[in-house]
Structure 1
Amino acid sequence: MPAHPYSRDLHTVEQLHAMEQAARSALGISGQELMRRAASAALNSLRRHWPSVRHICIHCGPGNNGGDGFLLGVLAREAGLRVELVALTSSSRGEAAVAREAWQANGGRVLLWDAEGELPEVELHVDALYGIGLNRAPDTAASRLIEQINLSGQPVLALDVPSGLDTDSGHCPGAAVRADVTVTFIAGKRGLHTGRAVDQVGMIELATLGVPDSVYMDAPPDAQLVLAEALPPRARYANKGDYGHVLVIGGEHGMAGAARLAGESALRTGAGLVSVATRAEHVFALNTARPELMVRGVDGPQTLAPMLERASVLALGPGLGQGAWGHALWLTALDANKPLVLDADGLNLLVREPRRFIAPTILTPHPGEAARLLGVSTTVVEQDRFSAARELAKRHAAVVVLKGAGSLVADPSGRLDVCPWGNPGMASGGMGDLLTGIVAALLAQGCSAWQAACLGVSLHARAGDRAALSGERGLLASDLLDPLRALGNGVAGSERAHD
């Protein structure tokens, strides 16, 4: 499907309700007609993805999402499909009641869901149980139905959002439908792209239902999807001094690998020079493994100072530790007030000694680190990743990358982008160190903190997807280095795209 001009835009539930009203007014149509358009878009998606399917079951809730399902049933029967329709309740509300009457007037039969019953034997299930307004766990009967749909072994098409998923946050407070395809209506929903949602939505398609551009222009998005970009070509007369000097500070006893991964990814992303300040015991091994890195043993602030003077960007934290050595280097590096990427133990030390940053700074916490920085539990962070990322950015006057499924990039003003790439194979040691080096290299090459974070997250995740083409399980951080170089140079590949 061709991309809609506003397909990057992601909205909150409150915004979506206002956009739906604006769309009806701009188009001069009733809610029933808008519902019929949604049903038509759903049928088109169903036939496109499963052209051979002839027998479907549509599961309808009491609200407008259920109304979409009833009208889909009408259209599907007209198209020659055999349709079973299961309803959660004996009656429907508002526009959905009209849609239910249309289904029954067309000869359709409604099967009331029995929590002790079984699903009809069909080739495909359609989820039209709950729409964008659900922000609680489904009740017992609905949860049982959702579990049966997930266990059916048949493909699932979700209308607008998979039922049980919080549209604003991506959190699932209870049972939630696992869809193979989600056809979402009018505009993108921010919660479909991060956290638990990435396991529930399958492929996302946007059906705008003919809504005019004026509706989108009057509704600035709450967030956007990150763009797939590369760095511009280099001038032929370039020299290494034009592309910055990254200093990686880390590698406590036994953690040389973290410093090496950060340094090597900075090189592969195009930093002109990369130095590593680490424990003296690691110097020989790092120089032997990657001679392009300029590695020096440092025993404290005095030996770190000359390296800080030469560096243009700092990557602070990979393998740093939280002992006396790491803490002394951390304080010395922060006092230099240079552009900075702070990760791993650099963030854990920030928990102990909070500060706001003056120089361009990017923090890259995973949810556990974010929770410690905010003084809450990891569960609280994952329940609303958007709020957590924005609060961290505001609190520390820094750009924040909240890592995880659907990584978020936030700045102190509240701007937020969502990364649509990445895969579970990247849940392995060293991936965060790699990201630290990538973002630091982009800062060194002249990107702003916001640009470096967004482009860095994009390159990192897309390199992970390209490296995972041979399989996700067993993926190593170092497997990303070759595709990272290709992507940074704009070399086309076959990594997973997003709509």
Structure 2
Amino acid sequence: MLHQAFTHEARLYSVEQIREIEALGLAHQSEATLMQIAGLAAAELAIKIGASKQVPILILAGPGNNGGDAYEAGYQLARQGYKVACIMCGKIEKYSQDAQAALQRAKDTGLEFIEPGALINDTSATSRDWSLVIDGLFGIGLKRTPESEIARLIELINNLAVEQAIPVLAIDVPSGLNADTGQPVSPNSAVIKATHTITFIANKTGLHTGSGKDYTGKVTVNQLDIPEDFFPKCRSHLNECTSLLRALTPRKQNSHKGSFGDVVILGGAMGMAGAAILAARAAQYSGAGRTYCSMLAEAPAYDSLHPEIMFRKLGEESLTGATVVIGPGLGTSASAYALLVSAIQTAQALVIDADALNLIAADTKLQALLFSRNTPCILTPHPLEAARLLNKNVADIQNNRPQAAHALAQQFNAVIILKGSGSIICNPDGSLLVNTTGNPALASGGTGDVLAGVAGALLAQACNSMDAARIAAWVHGHAADELVARGTGPIGLTASELLPEIRSSINQLAYQAITSN
């Protein structure tokens, strides 16, 4: 259940849906009008992010309507007194009528035109100063690798932008990136690395997950004045802070520890006790009323840093009525298998992570048992675990993360958090969220155990599975973002350091929920 309406910018549509919306928009207003609106919006953003009247702007214009948008942007900039040079990468006779008209307007304003080969081969051209690069090579329709000369041009622009600290504005999508999946259109495809992307009609999933975040920079959405009625119901959204408000129930004064649920952590085989302890600490920091930790290895008498956590021998703690987090440091022994069967059969709510996922991937009986559950369940695989669960390889998962998450949710009748850049949260009914927080500081051991513990604590506090998963993913990533912003990481940030920040983030969400009512 999603508690709050999403903004237009947070709604994510597929390329197929965008095409359908565009067709309706063209019936409402001409293609030339849409192109003019797009070009003007791109020009206005270019001015905001660094275009200078003293140093020329370089525009890359491709062979399709994306090139037409680029010409229109060049025209708008030139008529405002900006110096613009354009690399024309399409043949005029192959442009649409509207793109040809945009090109002619650009020529009439005195744009300088440079041959692609001249920029690639002429050192005087590459040594020129540029205040901004606008990428209008390819849009959302690109399905094949950019050809050799254009591929070399993309690589040249990427290098120049880094060497000279030039901002790069991509029109609609960075050229070479698949707007649905967030991956290059082919494994060896060159992709523009933009600092900013202005995307038209609606936001796209691929700009926010997988490799997409490495190429898009800051994303701005422009609806092109297409009426709201032309947009179909949306099933995919960005997992933003504002959409989480009211997902946490404010705590009553008349509360006690039993009001906020019991979390039982199951894991911690020999040599991996730390994983279970991290998950338990995360549950404690995330508001669980009571936290228990049962380990396959001999458990410590208590956690000296957090003596609030209660340790139990396996089998001593009832799983009935508890939220169970199973997997951190679990291993794949026969004892681990038996423990997983018991958890699936008896836990009131369940979070499955790490080795518990590997056991499920290898056993069809466990898969059937899991699918038959009708109580809350969250699975938190990373791409390799997801590949094992779907009997695929990691490349298959990463090549279409939204599709993989949806397949997992349906196959196991559970909410999925597919971890990674732009984590995907997916419900069995197909509703999907792309997380907006997090950074490479999370690429270290133990952070997944922390995420599982946070999700378990939220389930114990009566969040439904989808809310628990999306809040957990958001606060987990936000904690890392806050730490990095203060100079802790991304290199060397440890999972334990996330815990106080996660607590702070959850409390801030709860406070905002109260004050927004």
5 Å matches for 1:73-112? 73-91=74-92, 92-94=94-96, 95-112=98-115
Separation of aligned partners in 1, 2:288 and 2:437: 24
Give the match for residue 497 of structure 1.
none
* Root mean square deviation of aligned Cα: 1.9
Give the match for residue 34 of structure 1.
34
Shift of residue 348, structure 1, vs aligned partner:
0.3
Separation of aligned partners in 2, 1:491 and 1:30: 44
Please say if 1:148 is aligned against 2:159: no
Q: Is the 8 A contact 2:79 2:109 kept in 1?
A: no
Separation of aligned partners in 1, 2:117 and 2:182: 28
Amino acid at match of 1:226: N
Mark the runs of 5 or more structure 1 residues left unpaired by the alignment: 494-499
Please say if 1:256 is aligned against 2:267: no
Q: 1:188 aligns with which of 203, 209, 234?
A: 203
Give the match for residue 515 of structure 2.
none
Shift of residue 357, structure 1, vs aligned partner:
4.0
Give the match for residue 133 of structure 1.
141
Q: Is the 8 A contact 1:280 1:297 kept in 2?
A: no
Q: Single out whichever of 228-237 and 429-438 deviates more from structure 2.
A: 228-237
Shift of residue 31, structure 1, vs aligned partner:
0.7
| TM norm structure 2 | 0.89
Separation of aligned partners in 1, 2:62 and 2:254: 65
SS in 2 for 1:307: coil
- From the superposition, tell whether residues 4 and 246 of structure 1 become closer, same or farther in structure 2 (CA, over 3 Å): closer
Please say if 1:267 is aligned against 2:284: yes
Amino acid at match of 1:142: I
SS in 1 for 2:190: coil
Give the match for residue 373 of structure 1.
389
- From the superposition, tell whether residues 163 and 492 of structure 1 become closer, same or farther in structure 2 (CA, over 3 Å): farther
Mark the runs of 5 or more structure 2 residues left unpaired by the alignment: 512-517
Q: Is the 8 A contact 1:136 1:166 kept in 2?
A: no
SS in 1 for 2:474: helix
Give the match for residue 167 of structure 1.
179
| TM norm structure 1 | 0.92
Identity %: 38
For residues 104-135 of structure 1, the C-alpha deviation after alignment (integer angstroms, 9 at most, x for no partner) is 23333432311852555222211000011113
Separation of aligned partners in 2, 1:40 and 1:406: 30
5 Å matches for 1:410-489? 410-469=426-485, 470=487, 471-489=489-507
Q: Single out whichever of 334-343 and 174-183 deviates more from structure 2.
A: 334-343
- From the superposition, tell whether residues 135 and 90 of structure 1 become closer, same or farther in structure 2 (CA, over 3 Å): closer
Separation of aligned partners in 1, 2:334 and 2:148: 53
Q: Is the 8 A contact 2:421 2:438 kept in 1?
A: yes
Please say if 1:50 is aligned against 2:50: yes
Shift of residue 222, structure 1, vs aligned partner:
4.2
The number of aligned residues is: 480
Shift of residue 238, structure 1, vs aligned partner:
0.5
5 Å matches for 1:281-292? 281-284=298-301, 286-292=302-308
Q: Is the 8 A contact 2:269 2:297 kept in 1?
A: no
Q: Is the 8 A contact 1:10 1:190 kept in 2?
A: yes
Separation of aligned partners in 2, 1:371 and 1:491: 33
Amino acid at match of 2:353: D
For residues 329-354 of structure 1, the C-alpha deviation after alignment (integer angstroms, 9 at most, x for no partner) is 11222221531000000100001122
For residues 360-413 of structure 1, the C-alpha deviation after alignment (integer angstroms, 9 at most, x for no partner) is 111110001000111111001100011100001101111111000000011111
Give the match for residue 226 of structure 2.
211
Q: Is the 8 A contact 1:135 1:167 kept in 2?
A: no
For residues 393-435 of structure 1, the C-alpha deviation after alignment (integer angstroms, 9 at most, x for no partner) is 1011111110000000111111111101110111111111001
